[in-house]
Structure 1
Amino acid sequence: MTDRLDADSLADILIAQCRASDYAGYDPFDGLNSSFFKQLKLGALPFAKIAWLQLHKRSLWNLRPFVGVPRRRNPKGIALIILGLIERERRLCDGWSIKEATRLAEWLLEQRCDREKWKHSAWGYHFDWAARAFFVRSGTPNAITTCYVARALAALGLETGEPRLLEAATDAGLFVDSLFRADGGYYAYIPGESAFVHNANLWAAAVAGEAANRLGDDAMMHRAISAARRTVTMQRADGAWQYGTRDHHSFVDGFHTGYNLEALSALQRTVKFDEFDEAIRRGMAYYRDNFFLPDGTVKYYDNSVWPLDTHSVAQALLTLQSVDSGDDDHLLATRIFERAVDTLYMPRECRFMYQKGKLTTNRINYLRWTQAWAFYAIGAYANRVRLKGELQEQRQRRFEYLPGMTQ
């Protein structure tokens, strides 16, 4: 494609597209918000909940408008938008990005789960969520959503100097710490549930570790490090992690692998030690060798290309730029970005599609799963491209003016 958009322009197109709906949208897992399903009164049947949710997640056509599923803001999606707006401000310094991020942060503070019940700042999804491992009602906090919101609030608090945002992020870390299960030495995904999922455990460790660092809480920091060590001991010899420990968690996919590596790296930076260097090195080697084709196509699973998925692309861009990143990783990120624009971006709609299968394509617009991730990751990539260009210019200038060199 000769007229491919550059990363700066595409990031601006995506934020305009998201802002047009005031950041409200559909989600792959919001099917149980259907007013029609509630009228059917099948909610008491666990199988019916899972089947209905999977129908909407897997359908190539968006049935939600016809069964009464409303567009809503998603706290995790808003957190990703805030992180993307911070990247945009660093690139453009226009002031609007921080103003918009601050407006969205105020919304997040208003959307905290019941603080009397959960004691601390915490966030969950705006829909009931049925899975084989557990059923979670709307308004129940979970580790991953809380961690991403905490990261966004902390980053914005550091950018603006607003203490309330850092205080909320730290308080969220205390909630995450309450998910620690002493009987297994890991952080649970959901309060009261025992499922051990590596990406939730590691992001919880990273966010709890940051909060412990701010509070000077050695016991809390010890729990964060020990939880990370638990996941590291379960890394396979080839460097991979399965999704979790239950029988149906035996798959290895790209974006959860990226989560694990990014979170483990973030915790290590907070603690300022190198204990996890070898685990990160082996994990990154497996990631590079098993999730990318030479043309920049991002595989969904380590043993299967399909489906092509915008979320997987976004996490790949973030992982390659934030974890042990070098020139080769930057070149790979460039191929990934260009390939994603060619295969998953829809210029007429000014957005990315959800997934492309071997024989089918799902073009449904999912703000949290797709557009918010793409905006954040492409903005971070655009800043990395700019930084690389500036460093190259500086090296060139030094070379040109070395003694004895002619211009």
Structure 2
Amino acid sequence: MAKAIPSDEAFYKKEIGFLLELLVKNKSVGYSGICWGYDFDWEARYTKINAYVPTSVATGIITNSLFESYLIFPNEKIKEIILDAVNFVLKDLNRSYEGDLFCFSYSPVDKQFVLNASLKAARLLSQAYFFNSDPELKKIAKTAVQYVTRVQKENGSWPYAMHDARSWADNYHTGYNLDCIDAYMNLCKDQEFKNEFEKGLQFYITNFFENEEIPKFYDNKIFPIDSTAAAQSLLSLSRFGKLDLAKKVGLWMCNNMQDKNGGFYFRIHKHYKDKTIFMRWNNAWMFAGLSYYLYQNHNKEYENK
């Protein structure tokens, strides 16, 4: 938003500083590097993760947002945080091997093969490599990316996880995968996975948007129409230059899932609309998606001038 609305840059820069301090204050403690988990117990299908147990997902989302802000407002503290978080990935996360390749675990207390979680860890290593050019970080990140590209299906899709019943392909986890693979290729200057990325992106664009505007949850059915899926659509489509489609998705969400108070609803199901307004699942993600679209669109308009 600071770059999309230059007149408000000072305000957003101040907010970034405030949020950075809040994140550091709420880190998980007792681990090898700075990391984060949710502040509540939660049960997944194959594991239970207690409050403040850090995950590759929460840590990867936070460090990615910090890295994005570093590119706009360079800050040595952010650089130090990302380099420190590498120790969490390397020393606390488990690695499940298949041959010479491996998948990073979701958390220190499980050994799941959750693809987007492993890629978020690889992206963090790639961002650290951007700062220190440590070849070992690039090597480890590449091994994790290579595992995910190896299990990619012929049609370009990915299952949510390997070796269990979670074999579906969905919108936002596919977007996560694409974002992370792209980050690895750009930050580590390695285009080896370009074909797999392009195949995945084509699958994403072809299968997750009904009438070129409605963000589908799964590749084979529309419902539920979900705020996080829509927000990730905005992030990925904008990142990869698909601004026209991103605009249509954003407008559809504003016209169909935004309350008059500005908040976005949770989900639209086939026969009813769940108007619950969550801060994290709905609004944090939609704010991120809409603002990233505005940022990329502003850059495009600037380049055209």
TM range (shorter): over 0.9
Cα shift at 1:387: 3.1
Query: What do you get for the CA RMSD once the two structures are aligned?
Result: 1.5
Alpha-carbon distance between aligned partners in 2 of 1:368 and 1:234, rounded to the nearest angstrom:
30
Aligned residues: 299
Deviation sequence 1:35-88 (CA, Å, 0-9, x none): xxxxxxxxxxxxxxxxxxxxxxxxxxxxxxxxxxxxxxxxxxxxxxxxxxxxx1
User: What's 2:24 paired with?
Assistant: 109
Cα shift at 1:102: 0.6
Structure 1 counterpart of 2:300, one-letter code: K
Alpha-carbon distance between aligned partners in 2 of 1:161 and 1:331, rounded to the nearest angstrom:
30
1:3-402 to structure 2, matched below 5 A, reads 88-93=1-6, 94=8, 95-114=10-29, 117-178=30-91, 179-181=93-95, 183-184=97-98, 185-323=102-240, 325=241, 329-347=242-260, 349-392=261-304, 394=305
Q: Is the 8 A contact 1:180 1:223 kept in 2?
A: no
Alpha-carbon distance between aligned partners in 2 of 1:297 and 1:135, rounded to the nearest angstrom:
33
Alpha-carbon distance between aligned partners in 2 of 1:236 and 1:295, rounded to the nearest angstrom:
24
Cα shift at 1:362: 1.1
Q: Is the 8 A contact 1:243 1:252 kept in 2?
A: yes
Cα shift at 1:180: 4.9
Deviation sequence 1:134-181 (CA, Å, 0-9, x none): 011101000011011112223334444331221012211221223251
Q: Is the 8 A contact 2:106 2:112 kept in 1?
A: yes
Structure 1, unaligned runs of 5 or more: 1-87, 395-407
Moved over 4 A (4+): none
- Return the index of the structure with the highest Cα Rg: 1
Alpha-carbon distance between aligned partners in 2 of 1:302 and 1:161, rounded to the nearest angstrom:
38
Alpha-carbon distance between aligned partners in 1 of 2:152 and 2:236, rounded to the nearest angstrom:
18
Structure 2 counterpart of 1:377, one-letter code: G
**Identical positions, percent:** 27
Cα shift at 1:119: 1.8
> Are the structure 2 counterparts of residues 353 and 156 from structure 1 closer, same or farther at C-alpha, using a change threshold of 3 Å?
same
Cα shift at 1:182: 6.0
Find the residue that maps to 1:183 and give its secondary structure. strand
> Are the structure 2 counterparts of residues 274 and 354 from structure 1 closer, same or farther at C-alpha, using a change threshold of 3 Å?
same
Find the residue that maps to 1:345 and give its secondary structure. coil
Structure 2 counterpart of 1:125, one-letter code: Y
Structure 2, unaligned runs of 5 or more: none
TM-score (norm 2): 0.93
